C-alpha cells in the first residue's frame, strides 16, 4: 500500500513563528504536492515538486516555501505564521504525468494563534 505520512495531525503555533510541515511517501513517486483545504474553497495548490530540488508555485504560494532535498520527503515552510494560515494542510504524491492517481496524507490541522 502506498503510504503518505504527515508528521503531525494537529499543530498550534503562535503568530510570527516559523513552522515546518513534513511529508514522507514510500512509493518512489516523482511528484509531491502541498494543498490547503478550507471550507467552501476546496483544495488549493500551494506548491508542488516533480523532482528533488525542483519546485513549482501553485495557485497560492504567498507566505509559504518548500524544500525537497530527498525524493521521499517534501516540507512546507511557513516563514512567519499568520492567523490567516490557520487551515488543514494536505500532502499528496503521484507518479509521473498524465493519468496517475494522487495519494494523500491524513492532513495536518494547523491553528495559528
Partner 1 sequence: GEDVEQSLFLSVREGDSSVINCTYTDSSSTYLYWYKQEPGAGLQLLTYIFSNMDMKQDQRLTVLLNKKDKHLSLRIADTQTGDSAIYFCAPLGRTGRRALTFGSGTRLQVQP
Q: How many CB atoms lie within 10 A of CB 79?
A: 12
E strand or H helix that includes residue 82: none
The window from 11-19, 63-71, 74-82, 104-112 that contacts partner 1 (CB under 8 A) reads 104-112
Q: By CB under 8 A, how many residues form the interface with partner 1?
A: 28
Which of 11, 43, 60, 77 touches partner 1 (CB under 8 A)? 43
Q: Taking CB under 8 A as the rule, which mask of x and - marks residues 55-74 in contact with partner 1? A: ---xx---------------
Residue 7 as a binder of partner 1 (CB under 8 A): the answer is: no
Contact present, 74 and 30 (Cβ < 8 Å): no
Compute CA distances 60 → 26, 34, 44, 47, 50, whole Å: 27, 10, 7, 8, 18
CA gap 19, 22 in Å, rounded: 10
Pick from 45, 72, 77, 86: which binds partner 1 (CB under 8 A)? 45
Binding site for partner 1 (CB under 8 A): 4, 31, 33, 35, 40-45, 48, 50, 58-59, 90, 92, 94, 96-102, 104-107
Amino acid at each position: 500500500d502506498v503510504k503518505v505520512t504527515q508528521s503531525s495531525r494537529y499543530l498550534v503555533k503562535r503568530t510570527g513563528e516559523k513552522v515546518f510541515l513534513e511529508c514522507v511517501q514510500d512509493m518512489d513517486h516523482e511528484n509531491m504536492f502541498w494543498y490547503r483545504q478550507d471550507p467552501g474553497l476546496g483544495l488549493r495548490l500551494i506548491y508542488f515538486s516533480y523532482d528533488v530540488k525542483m519546485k513549482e508555485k501553485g495557485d497560492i504560494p504567498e507566505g509559504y516555501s518548500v524544500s525537497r532535498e530527498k525524493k521521499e520527503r517534501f516540507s512546507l515552510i511557513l516563514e512567519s505564521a499568520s492567523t490567516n494560515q490557520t487551515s488543514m494542510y494536505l500532502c499528496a504524491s503521484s507518479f509521473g504525468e498524465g493519468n496517475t492517481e494522487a495519494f494523500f496524507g491524513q492532513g495536518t490541522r494547523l491553528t495559528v494563534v
